[in-house]
Amino acid sequence: MSEFVHLHNHTDYSLLDAAQSIDMMCDRLTDINMDSIAVTEHGNLFSLVPFYQSAKKNGIKPIMGCEVYVATGDHKDRHIDKNSKKWNYHHLLLLVQNDIGLKNLIKLVSIGFLNGFYYKPRVDKDLIRQYSEGLICSSGCLAGEVNYYASIDDYENAKRAALDYKNIFGDRFFLELQNHGIKEELKSHKVLLKLSKDLDIPLIATNDNHYAFEEHWESHDILFCCGMGKEISDTNRLKYEPRQFYIKSQDEMHKMFKEFPGAIENTQRIAEMCNAEISMGSYHLPMFPIPGLDGEADPDEYLRNLCMKGLNERYNEITPSVQKRLDYELNVIKKMGFAGYFLITQDFVNYAKDNKIPVGPGRGSAVGSIVSYASGITDLDPLKYNLLFERFLNPDRVSMPDIDIDFCVNGREKVIDYIKDKYGNDSVAQIITFGTMKAKSSIRDVGRVMGMPYGQVDNIAKMIPNDPKITIDKAMEQNKDLKNVYDDSETVKSLIDHSKVLEGMNRHASTHAAGIVITPGPLTDYVALYKNPSTNDITTQADMKSVEDLGLLKMDFLGLRNLTVIDQTLKIIKKRHNKEIDIGALSLDDEKVFNLFSCGNTVGIFQFESSGMQEHLKNLQPKAFEDLIVMNSMYRPGPMGNIPEYIKRKHGKAEIRYLHPSLKDILEESCGIIVYQEQVMQIANKIGGFTLAQSDLMRKAMGKKKKRLMAGFKTDFVNGAVKNEINEKTAIEIFELLEKFAEYGFNKSHSAAYALIAYQTAWLKTYYTAEYFAANLSSDINDTDKVVKLIDDAKSLNVNVVMPDVNMSFPDFRVIDDHTISYGLAAIKNVGYKAAEDIAKARKDVTYKTIFDLCTIESTAVNKKTLESLILAGACDQLAGHRAQQYESIDKVIHFGQLYNKQSNKNQESLFSSDGVDMEIPIPELAEAEEWSSDICLSKEKELIGFYLSGNPLEPYLMDLKDFEVDDVKGKDSELRLGGLVSSSKILFDKRNNQWAIITLERMSSKAEIFIFSDLFNKVKDLIHENKMIFVTGKLSNRQSEYDDVVKIIADDIIEIKRVRDKLSRHINIKFSYEQSNKDMLSKVYSIANSHKGHCRFVLNIESSSGYCQRVVSNDLNVSPSLEFIQKLRDILGDENVWIDS
């Protein structure tokens, strides 16, 4: 063991205060030949498990600890002495000596967050005394009580504090010496040395490490500024002494503390005393209380009974194959000891179902289990769709099952409450997650702290590709512009270098969206707890992976919006039609539903609504549920490239080949293409002779590209294939095919379950269109882009969403009839659900006639802002007066409301006296005001609703857009032309400091992102303003992906939309058949053309009876492209026979 051991150390889990990851720390220790270290985060144990695991992996002895905050009084006291410069807490270092100490430290740190949080998670001396066993204590840094008093030469108070801790810890208390070149530290040494001699308390030397390498001191300073919200140039801020708080070598520490005999050696002594271990190899499952049985009961037998009952309900006949599969799965579950897991899971899932809380049909590989199906956990028959149990639970690799459950968003909390009631509130918690400084965000954070211009930093951040796994180094390899700007500017070099140091470090803690942990007893017997000061959520201090590694029962409870949409749709159907729809019992072969998929009419359909997917569906023309499973699996990065080939094979336009006839049964469902992980496993089983469990291990090795493992599997596979009379060459080809596809193969079980939800949503959209749209719109009420998309899609299906109306609308979107939906009042900005609810409720007694009536409903939620928003959004259009009058009358309305409520209160008081008089308040006249123009009304409406509903400024140009837009993407280089309204613009600077812009163009029913580079920007910058109507010609951006619903265009030219017809028209074309032509018609056309002369050539396209078209260009007549002229021609010849060439 090292002669000196660092016992005071912080990693990036001391959030925004330490700039070293655990890996950095371990690498530094290896570099300086040290084999032990303590990690002592500020007040938390966030790093406990990852530090322990990483240290063990690197041959380093992990010493667990924490730098706790000790309240000056009771830890629950929230008082701060405003006359004091000190906070109401001190620091104290606690190190874990043994397993009891670890448990006690977990308790202490949890109490700090749960009960003692006031700016910091605090404990007190009484708590420390209660939980002191198994812990070693040192006096900490300058912020420690003993060291603080020592630094101000207050020997008596320092002595009193030291004796307090010596009385608690005995010979396990040490006085801590630090030397970072801070004068107060050096001053404290004299008092600490005297205390050590007088009180017989040993000394230890520490360095308060916050970064691994000396050269990272500036990066740490930037991170610290980030946590304080300061710029690095700010002189009025806290600072660490430069170049001091890094992991120093043993030699450096020896030189600094050679005057203090024993201080170095005592660190080794403490390290030898600390021998706690974290148990990682066992599971801690709560006991499931078997109903009706007291004491001991066999969970395996109870699970079997539940499953047999479920099989009888699920199947008309329990065939030998069904029974065999159940018996096999139950035997594996019994052998692995996981019956309790399944019992717990089925219990809360069935609770949800019994209490009308929508639950998904399944999620992930658990759908492949017949035990899950029979016990009610999932709702898809794994045998019918050939799903594999081993993909879910592998008997050759003992690990906890992982069943994720989708719940309706509105019911998720009820299920969690049920679990807390059943297993104890102190045994159930959510799980922490850590937000990290990704490549882009680290650039932005560092740039902000360095005081760089926002536009410059934003430009650099945008040079980093939008890939969640991207790093700054990879980005510089991929984007030469980023590398160039790094090389050309010292400031940018500094920005990127610091960002690289901080990249990947933990930035903040939050609550995992889905994770729940359940323990057999109090959580703090197993894991520390954290209380988020912003939300009051109580979570584990261990993240999802650490919770699993500790052997605790972890569940994912996901709130799935689409389940809420289905549930709300069913409720609307029940209310409107008095029909109970069993959504789980739908026939999965409905021709009308598949027609919806085949038409690509999948806006609002779960997993199938992207524009790319819609195109593939139109080409595929799915006719069976299995087609949906395939498409859901293939439409993702990697396998997406195989979709065109799959469609060709599906329609007989490409040959289906199999490397060996044995593959046909496995790959026939996907036309010979490996799509599913289960297919990889089945091939390994059938061809290579692997068990399905071995096949799953091979699949995982392939997916993770573990070459050494794959080499072994390849040998076994080829040998097994040869035994099955398949020649070696073919066997190698099949294995290499598996290697190629295993990385992209998707879990069929998950895809099948989600395809079922997609089918259910499509069925509702097909048969109850208005109801489905109303539920979907209400679910997405705060997402303007989705609301616009849904409204446009509804309109295409003859369902119109009408303007909000205080006399008709409700808080959410409501079906008025089969073709009409009323806009939800709560979707209007500044209105809110409560005000909308009050307005709707009051209509039972009154119909609103004037804006003044809205103040008579006794609602505290309906205020001035609410009324203004209702008026501007058009919700009061059916009341007396126009919008301008109503808006200008707001102060009158509010005054009237105050008088009305005052009088109403008096009238109520008069009920209890004999002399009360009921006086009516006269309704004032509306203010005189000039009526707003249509454009002003639309502009204000958009401001409050988020888009144009009653009209659109582009409507006068609809024919221009119809005639000149080209938005069908035929290839990367094809020309695109789009018109719309500039809704936002971002001005940027390129590496030559030239301005360029990205604008959002709002079209009639979609959006586009337009990139305007510097040459064009200088010519058209006067058009790049909000609400300007423009027309863009350009090409598809390289940033466009198939997943993008917003088209991205690099602009070649931009003009005002009103100039489109005049500028882009070159030829006016008319077409008619030779038989159709007659003297009168031609004379009429010529007469109209002659009276609309202009700059365009007039082209006649005459079609013969054989279909041949002769093109005749008029040499003596040029015509106008005016809308009036074009419309006259179309009235005579038909819309399809008149067009304009650009």
DSSP 1008-1050: EEEEE-HHHHHHHGGG-STT-EEEEEEEE-TT--TT-SSEEEE
Buried b (16+ CB within 10 A) or exposed e, 180-190: bebeebeebbe
**What is the per-residue pLDDT for 439?**
95
Residues 52 and 278 sit within 8 Å (Cβ to Cβ):
yes
Q: What is the DSSP string of 854-902?
A: GGSS--SS--HHHHHHHHHTTTTTTSSS-HHHHHHTHHHHHHHHHHHHH
Whether the pLDDT of residue 994 is over 80: the answer is yes
Task: Assign 917 a pLDDT band (cuts: 50, 70, 90).
Answer: very low
Q: 839: which 2 tokens? A: 């307005």
Mapping DSSP to helix (H, G, I), strand (E, B) and coil, where does residue 1095 land? strand
Q: What is the pLDDT of residues 859-899, one digit of tens each?
A: 888 999 999 999 999 999 999 999 999 999 999 999 998 88
Task: Assign 764 a pLDDT band (cuts: 50, 70, 90).
Answer: very high
Contacts of 308 by beta carbon, 8 Å cutoff, 6+ apart: 326, 374
The listed range with the strongest mean pLDDT (780-784, 851-855, 900-904) is 851-855
**What is the per-residue pLDDT for 1138?**
94
CA distance 744 to 759: 24
Task: Assign 914 a pLDDT band (cuts: 50, 70, 90).
Answer: very low
Task: Assign 756 a pLDDT band (cuts: 50, 70, 90).
Answer: very high
Question: Region 535-546: what's the mean pLDDT?
Answer: 95
CATH numeric code, 955-1060: 2.40.50.140
**What is the per-residue pLDDT for 294?**
59
> Of 358, 798, 773, 825, which Cα lies nearest the Cα of 573?
773
Residues 753 and 360 sit within 8 Å (Cβ to Cβ):
yes
Task: Assign 1026 a pLDDT band (cuts: 50, 70, 90).
Answer: confident
Q: In what order do the strands lie in the sheet with 1067-1073?
A: 1109-1119, 1093-1103, 1067-1073, 1138-1141
**What is the per-residue pLDDT for 1102?**
86
Question: Region 966-976: what's the mean pLDDT?
Answer: 77
Q: What is the DSSP string of 787-808?
A: HHHHHHHHHHTT-EEEPP-TTT
* H-helix segments, 651-768: 664-667, 677-686, 692-703, 707-723, 728-742, 748-767
Residues belonging to the chain = 1142
Question: Region 353-358: what's the mean pLDDT?
Answer: 95
E strand map for 201-357? 203-206
Least confident of 56-65, 79-88, 99-108, 225-234: 79-88
Question: Region 305-330: what's the mean pLDDT?
Answer: 96
Q: What is the pLDDT of residues 490-507, one digit of tens each?
A: 999 999 999 999 999 999
Q: 115: which 2 tokens? A: 């009960």
Give me the chain's average pLDDT, please: 92
**What is the per-residue pLDDT for 912?**
45
Whether the pLDDT of residue 449 is over 50: the answer is yes
**What is the per-residue pLDDT for 1043?**
60
Whether the pLDDT of residue 913 is over 60: the answer is no
Whether the pLDDT of residue 1117 is over 70: the answer is yes
- CATH topology assigned to domain 1065-1141: Trna Endonuclease; Chain: A, domain 1 (3.40.1350)
CA distance 758 to 628: 9
**What is the per-residue pLDDT for 1109?**
85
Q: Which residue has the higher pLDDT, 784 or 115?
A: 115
Residue ranges of domains in the chain: 22-212+247-273, 299-405, 637-745, 768-945, 955-1060, 1065-1141
The listed range with the strongest mean pLDDT (920-924, 972-976, 1132-1136) is 1132-1136
> Of 92, 108, 204, which Cα lies nearest the Cα of 145?
92
Whether the pLDDT of residue 1107 is over 90: the answer is no
Q: Which CATH number fits domain 22-212+247-273: 3.20.20.140, 3.30.565.10, 3.40.50.720, 3.40.50.300?
A: 3.20.20.140
Task: Assign 909 a pLDDT band (cuts: 50, 70, 90).
Answer: low
Percentages helix, strand, coil for the chain (3-state, rounded to 5) are 45, 15, 35
Q: What is the pLDDT of residues 554-602, one digit of tens each?
A: 999 999 999 999 999 999 999 999 999 999 999 999 999 999 999 999 9
Task: Assign 295 a pLDDT band (cuts: 50, 70, 90).
Answer: low
What pTM was computed for the model?
A: 0.85
The pair phi, psi for residue 243, each rounded to 5°, is 60, 30
Give the CA angle between residues 854, 860, 864 to the nearest 5°.
60
**What is the per-residue pLDDT for 685?**
94
* Pairing status of strand 1109-1119 against strand 1093-1103: antiparallel
Whether the pLDDT of residue 450 is over 90: the answer is yes
Q: In what order do the strands lie in the sheet with 800-802?
A: 800-802, 820-822, 814-817
Whether the pLDDT of residue 1093 is over 70: the answer is yes
Q: Which residue has the higher pLDDT, 654 or 1079?
A: 654
Is it true that 22-212+247-273 and 955-1060 share their CATH fold?
no
**What is the per-residue pLDDT for 78?**
85
432 CB-contact burial (10 Å; exposed 0-12 / middle 13-18 / buried 19+): buried
Q: What is the DSSP string of 166-193?
A: HHHHGGGEEEEEE-SS-HHHHHHHHHHH
Least confident of 46-60, 695-709, 865-879: 695-709
